[in-house]
Chain A
């Protein structure tokens, strides 16, 4: 890759300088990870920690990462556990990653389950965060069983905007009721796919095997 970049860069260098311009597009990647802490799913928090570690090892200087929890009402900045836009300098970026790792590790030690699960609020919050970063590639990871449960006062039956955002559902475990009737599980995922794609998302994907996390950041 480096060699190809070296060879390609020779003529491109002249052209780019002749034009006197740089590529105005953003090449950074912003990831917003929603971690479900409701009910029994809170037991899966260790896996979420692994995913965050994987993201920290993979994201490059200039990229952004935010980890937020999904609880009864998730449309709030207070639900963001840790966030960082990594510095352009690799050494500073590594320091920021260490700090973010410590914050997430501390959260996993103290995480408590919530009564309800507001995934939609988290998605809206995530989309707002990602759009503010101005990154070229935007991804929302939903670490959840995708079973949304809202209290009566919470209104989430509203149109959401996920334009140009990839939405990946990770570790979508089957519930007891899903085991009774698998159609509930597939129906739930299909409903989310329809909603996410209807909101203008670039891609909807479900990754249940966390051994294959390399698909997370592939665009």
Chain B
């Protein structure tokens, strides 16, 4: 008895006790039906209302963020397209100045060459003089029949001989004339070649100009789309930013790998300079921090170098500097970078020496016969490689400024788009949760009615018994008049 819960009426029969309690409680539950229904509905509204409200607020915020993102994206794209068009125009201007500046001279040269060719052509057109008129007379005499007359035969033979001489002479002259024409035609060739070359050159320049014009057309079309703030332009800019973001992230990851190698190269020798026993945190040595500082300073110098070269645009103040000051800054950054690269090369050498020393000590402690140090050039390759790597890596790190700029520029767009998606997803979740809570409250109301189904049945029976029975007319009963 003492072990039974307080509500158990019959010890050992909890089910029966529960049933009795249920029967006792049922009238009270029935009596409280209306307020309980109202309470459940109110709780449903209370919990679901703020969730739906939150969902609406988030959707509105997402919309506002999208608009703001669009404005920023288009402004950025506007500026970028403007710069690209300006750059294309600069290129075209350079092309026109470089190639078409000499166009009058080119035209004059072409005209001269054409005139010479025409003159030579005219010279080629001169034919040798026609055969003399007496040829016909000779022909007539040649047709005279000799009939064995010796005089006639002799005359004819004489004529034949004379004709042959004249023929030889004329043929010789004719050949000479043709030789001269051939010589003139031979002289044509260089002019033709020059003409062809000049025309090809002009064609090439014109094609290049046409290509530039096409590129400008394309840029202008893009620019117009951006100015009109079309969805297409926004989509194109977003895709472009996304691509830039991933490419820049990839390059930055590669650069981080380079920085890690750099760090490994100089961390150990830095302990020779700043000591190996000082710690900044529980696991971070001061020498490691010093190595990191050198790497960061190199990256910063690289950043300034790129900035002063106007390759990146991260610091507007540097761009606003006068050219003289900017150039001075460029040289300072470059000299510091070269100095740091030299220091790194020296540290890499020191690292190699320290490792060799440690190795020799360990070998002597292990009582093993120390391998004779080889002085061959092969054994120096790793040392030289480390030194070269130590010198090159700072310059390679200097170029990190370019992907860094792209990363920063595209991260705003990508982050904004991601935030909008996240906000919308959250809004959908809140809406779903709100609806679930409200539906759950309805389910609870129905469940409550199921629990008190017996009193409800009794109530229905009582109501049906009290309610006046509907009058049944003859017509309703189906009787036909």
Q: How large is the interface on A (under 10, 10 to 19, 20 to 34, 35 or more residues)?
A: 20 to 34
B277 at the interface (CB under 8 A from A): yes
Main secondary structure of the interface of B (DSSP, over half): helix
Contact B354 A56 (CB under 8 A): no
In-complex Cβ contact of A6 among B268, B276, B292, B353 (8 A): B292
Which of chain A's residues have a CB closer than 8 A to the CB of B300?
none
- B-contacting residues, A2-25, CB 8 Å: 2-3, 5-6, 8-10, 12-13, 16, 22-23, 25
Report if B187 contacts A (CB, 8 A).
Answer: no
Is A28's CB within 8 Å of the partner chain B?
yes
Specify which chain B residues have a CB less than 8 angstroms from the CB of A23 in the assembled complex.
279-282, 284
B223 at the interface (CB under 8 A from A): no
A56–B358 Cα distance when bound, in Å, is 11
Task: Decide if A47 is an interface residue (CB 8 Å cutoff).
Answer: no
**Once the chains bind, are A27 and B279 in contact (CB under 8 Å)?**
yes
Report the bound CA distance from A110 to B467 in whole Å: 123
- Residues in B363-380 with C-beta less than 8 Å from chain A: 364-367
Q: Is A61 on the interface with B (CB-CB < 8 A)? A: yes
Report whether A57 and B361 are in contact in the complex, using a CB–CB cutoff of 8 Å: yes
- Please indicate the chain B residues that have their CB under 8 angstroms from the CB of A91 in the complex: 272, 353-354, 357
A12 neighbours in B (Cβ, 8 Å): 280-281, 284
Binds A, one of B21-29, B140-148, B259-267: B259-267
The residue in chain A whose Cβ has the minimal distance to the Cβ of B277 is: A62
Q: Which of B260, B264, B281, B362 contacts A16 (CB 8 A)?
A: B281
Main SS class of interface, A: helix
Chain A residues contacting B172 (CB-CB under 8 Å) are none
Q: Evaluate contact between A13 and B289: CB separation under 8 angstroms.
A: yes
Q: From B259, B277, B281, B292, give the contact of A28 (CB < 8 A).
A: B277
Q: With A22-B286, A90-B271 as given contacts, are A61 and B276 in contact (CB-CB < 8 Å)?
A: yes
Contact B284 A8 (CB under 8 A): yes
Within 8 A of B (CB), among A63-109: 88-91, 93-94, 97-98, 101
Determine whether A53 belongs to the interface, using a CB cutoff of 8 Å to chain B. Answer: yes
**Is A94 within 8 A of B277, CB to CB?**
no
Query: For residue A54, which residues in chain B have a CB less than 8 angstroms away from its CB?
Result: 365
B292:A2 contact, CB within 8 angstroms: no
B13 sits at the interface (CB 8 A): no
The answer to whether A90 and B282 have CB atoms under 8 Å apart is: no
Interface check A114, CB cutoff 8 A: no
- CB–CB A57/B279 < 8 A: no
Q: Which chain B residues in 225-279 approach chain A with CB under 8 Å?
A: 259-260, 263-264, 267-268, 271-272, 275-279
A131 at the interface (CB under 8 A from B): no
Is residue A171 within 8 Å, beta carbon to beta carbon, of the partner chain?
Answer: no
**Is there an interface contact between B282 and A25, defined as CB atoms closer than 8 Å?**
yes
In the assembled complex, the CB of B281 is this many whole angstroms from the nearest CB of chain A, namely 5
Q: How far is the CA of A75 from the CA of B267 in the complex (A)?
A: 42
| Cβ-closest chain A residue relative to B262 | A6
Q: Would B271 and A53 count as touching, CB distance under 8 A?
A: no
The residue among B259, B362, B365 with the most chain A CB atoms within 10 A of its own CB is B365
- Nearest opposing residue in chain A for B361, CB measure: A94
**Does B307 count as interface, using CB distance less than 8 angstroms?**
no
Contact for A98 among B282, B353, B361, CB less than 8 A: B361
Residues of chain B with a CB closer than 8 A to A97's CB: 361, 365
Annotate A100-135 by CB proximity to B: 1 below 8 A, 0 otherwise.
Answer: 010000000000000000000000000000000000
B288 contacts A by Cβ under 8 Å: yes
Q: How far is the CA of A9 from the CA of B358 in the complex (A)?
A: 26
If A2-B267, A12-B280, A90-B354 touch, whether A57 touches B362 (CB-CB below 8 Å) is yes
- The verdict on A6 contacting B263 (CB below 8 Å), with A57-B365, A89-B271 known, is yes
Within 8 Å by CB of A90, from B264, B268, B288, lies B268
B260:A6 contact, CB within 8 angstroms: yes
Contact B275 A5 (CB under 8 A): no
B149 within 8 A of A: no
Using Cβ atoms and an 8 Å threshold, which residues of chain B touch A57? Answer: 361-362, 365-366
Chain A residues in the interface with B (C-beta under 8 A): 2-3, 5-6, 8-10, 12-13, 16, 22-23, 25, 27-28, 53-54, 56-57, 60-62, 88-91, 93-94, 97-98, 101
User: Could you list 17 A-B pairs, sorted by A, with CB under 8 Å?
Assistant: A3-B260, A6-B259, A6-B263, A13-B289, A16-B280, A22-B286, A27-B277, A28-B277, A57-B361, A57-B362, A57-B366, A61-B275, A89-B272, A89-B276, A90-B271, A93-B276, A97-B365
